[in-house]
Each structure stands twice: as structure tokens, then as C-alpha cells.
């Protein structure tokens, strides 16, 4: 049995895995940030400290085991909020010493990268994974459990920020993604023509900071005295369509150019209903296997961290996982040197 701990941002999560079977995956989301309109790092650290023992106990209970049955630990060490990462990592190191079991450091982005393989064991390498959240918008070419390469990232805002910042402008609240998604269902996606940044560029880079500027410009021009309520669905549907168009077209182009057999979407924005629907349609047209992991594997969660840890243990580097000499790194995208992707 392996116990995995995730605490990189505003979710405290602990999972228990038997091999790659997930026996429990408890996710405690910190609600405290919503009134501030964004994650406050110090509050996140404190909330992790308060909840981590309870979340561990809940995960052990649901799996029906005690710490005596656990043979290995895993924790997220990068990237994320430094204080938040420290809480989970030091908690894991403490358990490792107390129970004399190894602890595997895992990069959070690698958790998202391989979450499609956790969801669907028929998915084959190579795959193209779109990691899209409040902090990241990146495309990866994933060749194996030990080799992947980044194809492109956002130059400025992440797609989640575009949802959150425009929701704030529209007075909808935080986080904005789910609110815009819900309103967009009643709106017309072609009502307003918002720009699709870098859609036709040959690179796999994204840029979303212009999105909020164009929404602001639209609001100032058409609704200087405030947005009428009945316009909200059309604005949300049009904005969402612009973001989804860019994400889908770039991902499909990457999968085609790199001859991927699968496409995975991961991270908070991958919960978006239009993104799931449009990506599924586009992948089917190209005959590419598409996997959108369930919410509990695509939002920040410990199951994906445990899954990566099991793959690392299987690769056979166990002695190093007893040294506990790893540190947290708030920025690192990768922890290892990886192979480079060959374009077809």
C-alpha cells in the first residue's frame, strides 16, 4: 500500500493506492480563499496544517487500512506555493521516519500529465497532454513514464486566469470557471466575436492576457453603465468559445504533428463542459483516443501523485527514496532530464 499526499495549492489531498488501484482519494478544498477572489498563500499553508491529519485519517479509514499496512509514501514537492508544499512534504517526511518507509518526491505537473493513464489503462503512449488550470496552460508530448517534453506554454496568463479574471469583471465571483461554464450553457457562443490569440501561429504557445482586455473593451463600449443580466449568458458563451477554440485546435494540431495515439486533458479547466465536448468531437474526427479524467483525478488530487510514485518505484530507484534529502521547489516544472519530442 502507498499513501500519497498533495498540498501544492489550495487542496489538501491524501490517497491510498494498492499498486495502481486507488482505494481512497480524499480531497479537502479550502473555501477560505473565495472571499478574497484568489488563493492567499499564507492562509493556504495554515489551512493545510489544520486539515492534513484529518484528511490522512479519512483516507486510511476509507481504504480500510492503518499506517502499519503502508509500505511507501509519496508527496508533491514542486511546483506550487512554497509554504503549502512544505506542509505536505514535511508531514510525509515525518511519517517516513516514524514508520521507517520510503517517501517518493513527485512533481505535481507529472501527476497531471499521467492522470489520463490512471483514468484509462487502455490509453497508449505516445500521448499529447494539455495541462490547463488556474496556474498552467501547457502542451506536453508524453512518450513513456520516464520521458516527456514540453511543446509550448502560455506566454502570460493561464486559461483558468482568463476565466477567473473575466468572471470578476462581470461581477460573478470566484472561481470564475465553473460560473462561466454554467451561464454559457444558456448563451449563444457566436454572439460576440472575441479574439483567438495565437490560433494561427505555428508554435504551441498560448496567450490569454489579451482576453480580459478585449472583454473589458467590449463592456466599456457596449455596456458602460453595467452589463444587463440577460446579456451574461451570451458574453460567457462567447468568451468560453474563444478560449476553447484555441485550446482544442492547438492540442489537435500537436497530436497530429507528433502522431500521438492519445490526447489527455488535465487540471481545473479540463472540467469545462465545452472543452470536453469540443475536444472529444475533434479527437474522434482524427481517430485519436481521447481521455478526460474524472473530476477527482483532474482537479488537484493525491491519487495522481500516488500513481506517478508507483511508476517510479516500479522503475526501481527505491534506496534513494529513503534518504529524504529532497526539498520543495515552488517553480520547477520538471525534476528530471527528459527525452526530446520528435516531430513527424
Binding site for Zn ion (CB under 5 A): 133, 300
Residue 324's nearest CA partner among 109, 101, 111 is 101
CB of 11 to Zn ion, least distance (A): 8
Q: Which does 160 bind (CB under 5 to 8 A by kind): ligand KG4, Zn ion, none?
A: ligand KG4
Spatial strand order in the sheet of 21-29: 21-29, 11-18, 2-6, 72-78, 103-107
CA distance 135 to 177: 13
Q: How far is the CB of 159 from Zn ion (least distance, A)?
A: 13
For the chain, how far is it from start to end, CA to CA, in angstroms? 41
DSSP conformation class of 193: -
Nearer to ligand KG4, 117 or 163 (CB): 163
**Measured from the CB atom, is 105 or 175 closer to ligand KG4?**
175
Q: How many H helices and E strands in the chain?
A: 11, 10
Q: How far is the CB of 169 from ligand KG4 (least distance, A)?
A: 14
Strand partners, 15: 4, 25
- State which residue, 87 or 269, has the beta carbon closest to ligand KG4: 269
Which of the listed partners (Zn ion, ligand KG4, none) does 238 bind, with a CB threshold of 5 to 8 Å by partner kind? none
DSSP string, 183-210: HHTTS-TTSS----TTTT-SS--B--HH
52 membership: H or E segment, kind and range: helix 41-63
Residue 105 grid cell: 518526491
- Selection from ligand KG4, Zn ion, none that 83 binds (CB < 5 to 8 A by kind) is none
Residue 4 interacts, among Zn ion, ligand KG4, none and using kind-specific CB cut-offs from 5 to 8 Å, with none
Q: Which is nearer to ligand KG4, 83 or 177 (CB)?
A: 177
Q: Give the one entry of ligand KG4, Zn ion, none that residue 272 binds, where binding means its C-beta sits below a cut-off of 5 to 8 angstroms depending on kind.
A: ligand KG4
Among ligand KG4, Zn ion, none, the one that 115 touches (CB under a kind-dependent 5 to 8 A) is none
In the block, cell 461554464 appears at 181
CB-based closest residue to Zn ion? 300
Query: Is the Cβ of residue 254 or residue 299 nearer to ligand KG4 in the bound state?
Result: 299
User: Considering the complex, what minimum distance in angstroms separates the CB of residue 116 from ligand KG4?
Assistant: 15
User: For ligand KG4, which is the closer residue by CB, 37 or 178?
Assistant: 178
Helical segments of 148-208, H only = 159-169, 176-184
β-bridge mates for residue 132, sequence order: 137
- Least distance from ligand KG4 to the Cβ atom of residue 74, Å: 19
Name which of ligand KG4, Zn ion, none residue 126 binds, using a CB cut-off of 5 to 8 Å depending on partner kind.
none
Site residues (CB under 6 A) for ligand KG4? 9, 133-135, 160, 163-164, 175-178, 181, 267-269, 271-272, 299-300
Length of the chain: 344
Report the SS3 class of residue 78.
Answer: strand
Nearer to Zn ion, 13 or 96 (CB): 13
Q: Residue 42 contacts by C-beta under 8 Å, 6 or more apart in sequence? A: 83
Amino acid at each position: 500500500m502507498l499513501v500519497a499526499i498533495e498540498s501544492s495549492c489550495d487542496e489538501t489531498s491524501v490517497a491510498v493506492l494498492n499498486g495502481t488501484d486507488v482505494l481512497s482519494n480524499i480531497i479537502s478544498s479550502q473555501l477560505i480563499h473565495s472571499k478574497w477572489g484568489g488563493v492567499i498563500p499564507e492562509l493556504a499553508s495554515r489551512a493545510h496544517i489544520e486539515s492534513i491529519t484529518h484528511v490522512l485519517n479519512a483516507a486510511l479509514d476509507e481504504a480500510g487500512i492503518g499506517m502499519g499496512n503502508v509500505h511507501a509514501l509519496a508527496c508533491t514537492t514542486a511546483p506550487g506555493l512554497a509554504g503549502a508544499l512544505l506542509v505536505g512534504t514535511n508531514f510525509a517526511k515525518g511519517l517516513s521516519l516514524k514508520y521507517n518507509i520510503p517517501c517518493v518526491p513527485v512533481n505535481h505537473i507529472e501527476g497531471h500529465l499521467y492522470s489520463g493513464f490512471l483514468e484509462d489503462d487502455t490509453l497508449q503512449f505516445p500521448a499529447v497532454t494539455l495541462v490547463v488550470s488556474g496556474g498552467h496552460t501547457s502542451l506536453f508530448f508524453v512518450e513513456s513514464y520516464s520521458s516527456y517534453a514540453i511543446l509550448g506554454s502560455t506566454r502570460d496568463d493561464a486559461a483558468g486566469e482568463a476565466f477567473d479574471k473575466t468572471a470578476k469583471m462581470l461581477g460573478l465571483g470566484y472561481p470564475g470557471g465553473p460560473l462561466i461554464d454554467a451561464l454559457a450553457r444558456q448563451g449563444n457562443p457566436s454572439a460576440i466575436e472575441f479574439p483567438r490569440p495565437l490560433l494561427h501561429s505555428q508554435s504551441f504557445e498560448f496567450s490569454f492576457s489579451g482576453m480580459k482586455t478585449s472583454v473589458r473593451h467590449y463592456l466599456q463600449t457596449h455596456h458602460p453603465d453595467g452589463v444587463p443580466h440577460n446579456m451574461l449568458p451570451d458574453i460567457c458563451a462567447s468568451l468560453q468559445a474563444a478560449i476553447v477554440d484555441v485550446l482544442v485546435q492547438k492540442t489537435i494540431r500537436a497530436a497530429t504533428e507528433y502522431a500521438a495515439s492519445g490526447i489527455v486533458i488535465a487540471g481545473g479547466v479540463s472540467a469545462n463542459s465545452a472543452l470536453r465536448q469540443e475536444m472529444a468531437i475533434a479527437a474522434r474526427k482524427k481517430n485519436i483516443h481521447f481521455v478526460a479524467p474524472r473530476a477527482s483525478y483532474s482537479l488537484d488530487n493525491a491519487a495522481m501523485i500516488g500513481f506517478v510514485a508507483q511508476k517510479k518505484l516500479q522503475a526501481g530507484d527505491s534506496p534513494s527514496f529513503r534518504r529524504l534529502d529532497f526539498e520543495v521547489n515552488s517553480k520547477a516544472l520538471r525534476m528530471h532530464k527528459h527525452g526530446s519530442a520528435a516531430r513527424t
